[in-house]
Amino acid sequence: MQQPSSNNDAGSTSTTNKEQPVGEDITSQCLSLLSRNDDTSRLVGLAMLYSIINRVPNPAEILEKCTKILSPKFLDRLLQTGASSNQSEAQAKDMVELAVNILNVFALTLPNANENEFLVNRAPKLIEAIPSCSGLTIATILQILLVYSTGTAGAKRILEAEKLTTLVDLSATNDNGGQVIQHALHRFTDDPVQSKEYLQRLLPMICVKLERYPRAEKSSILSLLGDLLVRTPTEYLPADQSWVSSVYNALSPLILAAPNSTERRHITIVVATLLNAYPPSLLFSPPFPARTVQLLLQLTTIDLRASFPSLAEQLASPNYPATSQRLAASFDIISSFITFLISSEDFSAISLEPECLLKLRNDMGETFGLTTEFLRDRWDAVYTGSCGLEPEADPDAPKSLTWDAPSMRGPEKDPLVMAAMRALGIWLKEDEGLQKECGGLVDVFLGLWTKGKEAGVDYRPWILAGFSGVLEEKHGREMFKENQGWKVLWEDLKEGTKMQGEEARQIVLEEARVLESYVVQEKVVDEGWAREAVKVAEKSMDVETVVMVATLAVGLVVCVRETSKNALREETTGLVDRLKQIEEMLSRTAKEDDIILEHTRDALLGLSM
């Protein structure tokens, strides 16, 4: 059956080549037929409604009346005729098409169709009808379900449908199948309980399809899974990890079979998202195949190295956000792997052999070398080509280039820059060779620190991790001083000591460690800073914060006393008393080798000199 035309000719002054508007008597006859109890009359009424609806002056009003008088069970029976019917195949097909097309008219005409119980309650039967329908009818069903999925009531009926797996199957060959599922889930973003319930049912369902489908159809299912995972808050994902292992196992043959670019993109995004939400040991430890892990890591590093040279010319391209997302996911996989290696106490927990790890280390070293060049170029492309300067610092500085990715609004909001900085920060602790090279990136690090804060992106943990490596080198410390990095970190530390929460506390502790290392190695003589650090340490509330900021203060005081032996004696009296109280408390409650106790005693020793 053909879809009724969307053009409404009611009220036209000319009837040439157009059908006459329908009178009230025909409309009344149609409604009368629909209200009867016998299916034959209802069927005739539906056919009449379908033929006249575009020629009535008030279609929404007529359709609203239909929802009040038409039996929903009758519509359900029509939708079921394709699956089980005494009718001929052609008759059954016509009945299903009539029901689908009528429901499509309702969905596209009635306001709030996505919340109308009469309509959305038909969603389960529409889904059940899909396997027996033609391609055109399936497209119409998906159009209806897309409308329903945008409302809470409609989304609920779709996600609770007994045959939801039919939509998952359909998503392998029709993108709209996946869109229906995604839109429906999105309606419950603010409802953790419902979201968890639906995901707990849906994700294992997708896993089964991944395991069973041939390669050609796996890519579309992977795309659906990746989109769902990216849009789902981590805390909504099921606590049960068995489905995650199922995903990894389903991906393994694809990874081993030299995936194409589309497959690589989906694999990378799915794996990166799962690593962010679940223990990395599920992927990087036995019994998961070591060969698959090795190839996955090689794919990510090769993709990054191959992509870096052309990224600058892609910045203004509409494809750049997708490229950025893919490469950011590659960096996230690398970050997870490095963190897993560093934190592994038992070598048997690592599936890769030492020779393989050495090869990967070389690959990653080369990748991170190119990463530093990318960060330098990405920053300079927008802000300045002069190391260490912001455009606003010099009125004669060149203006920012206008070909940056418009959707990113600066490199600080680029997912690729975030992921690259996170991975680089971890790597710099381990790679002494790269530490020397990254001294020239100190201005970029500090720029991302400041610009990121303004943009609502917290680069501090990643940059502090990077500084802990970069400041081991003389050139890095010189650039840190030249760009007043110590001042940026110190001002942030002071603000952090006034804030509540574990995250703020950890940032303060790391800032204190980085600054203390810089002060001691550079032998910084700054009496004003030393005096201020003593006061901040003394006023801090948390014991560990007191001790770590005191360690920084002691480093500053010791440097000052090397030029003036008795300097700051009186100013440090209060801090000495506070540290003695902490030492006494920790001596009673902590082990002798407790790190905070050790730092406390070291600080007291330094202040006594």
Q: What tens digit of pLDDT does each residue of 211-256 get? A: 888 888 888 899 999 999 999 999 999 999 999 999 999 999 999 9
pLDDT band, very low/low/confident/very high, at 397 (cuts 50, 70, 90): very low
Residue (of 325, 259, 319, 346) closest to 295 by Cα position: 259
**pLDDT over 60 (residue 386):** no
Rounded percentage of the chain residues whose pLDDT exceeds 90: 63
**pLDDT over 70 (residue 13):** no
CB 520 within 8 A of CB 477: no
pLDDT band, very low/low/confident/very high, at 22 (cuts 50, 70, 90): low
**pLDDT over 50 (residue 138):** yes
Query: Helix, strand, coil % (nearest 5) of the chain?
Result: 75, 0, 25
The pLDDT of residue 216: 83
The pLDDT of residue 2: 42
For range 469-491, the mean pLDDT:
95
CB 489 within 8 A of CB 481: no
Q: 63: part of which helix (H) or strand (E)?
A: helix 59-69
How far is residue 192 from each of residues 207, 240, 276, 278, measured CA to CA in Å?
A: 22, 16, 19, 18
Average pLDDT taken over every residue of the chain:
87
All residues at 6 or more sequence positions from 448 whose CB lies less than 8 Å from its CB, including other chains: 379, 411, 412, 417, 421, 459, 463
How far is residue 147 from each of residues 78, 140, 163, 277, 405, measured CA to CA in Å?
A: 21, 11, 19, 32, 33
The pLDDT of residue 409: 67
Tokens representing 64 are 């609203």
Say which DSSP state 237 is in: S
- The residue ranking higher by pLDDT, 84 or 167, is 167
All residues at 6 or more sequence positions from 525 whose CB lies less than 8 Å from its CB, including other chains: 559, 560, 562, 563
Residue (of 298, 290, 408, 301) closest to 348 by Cα position: 290
**pLDDT over 90 (residue 119):** yes
The pLDDT of residue 20: 63
CB 220 within 8 A of CB 171: yes
- Note the residue count of the chain: 609
Residue (of 473, 450, 335, 317) closest to 392 by Cα position: 450
How far is Cα 231 from Cα 133, in angstroms, rounded to an integer?
31
CB 439 within 8 A of CB 478: yes
DSSP 3-state of 388: coil
**pLDDT over 80 (residue 408):** no
Residue (of 308, 483, 518) closest to 387 by Cα position: 483
Q: What angle do CA 544, 549, 550 make, to 5 degrees?
A: 95
The pLDDT of residue 23: 66
Q: Is the peptide bond before 287 cis (omega within 30 degrees of 0)?
A: yes
For range 35-45, the mean pLDDT:
90
How far is Cα 474 from Cα 455, in angstroms, rounded to an integer?
31
**pLDDT over 90 (residue 433):** no
CB 183 within 8 A of CB 177: no
**pLDDT over 50 (residue 4):** no
Question: If 0-12 CB within 10 Å is exposed, 13-18 middle and 19+ buried, where does residue 287 land?
Answer: exposed
How far is Cα 443 from Cα 445, in angstroms, rounded to an integer?
5
The pLDDT of residue 583: 82
All residues at 6 or more sequence positions from 69 whose CB lies less than 8 Å from its CB, including other chains: 31, 34, 35
The pLDDT of residue 410: 82
Q: What is the CA radius of gyration of the chain?
A: 33
Q: How many H-runs (helices) and E-runs (strands) does the chain carry?
A: 30, 0
- Torsional sign, CA 275, 276, 277, 281: positive
For range 48-65, the mean pLDDT:
88
For range 295-309, the mean pLDDT:
96
Tokens representing 513 are 């460690």
Tokens representing 479 are 């650039």
**pLDDT over 80 (residue 439):** yes
Tokens representing 492 are 């942030």
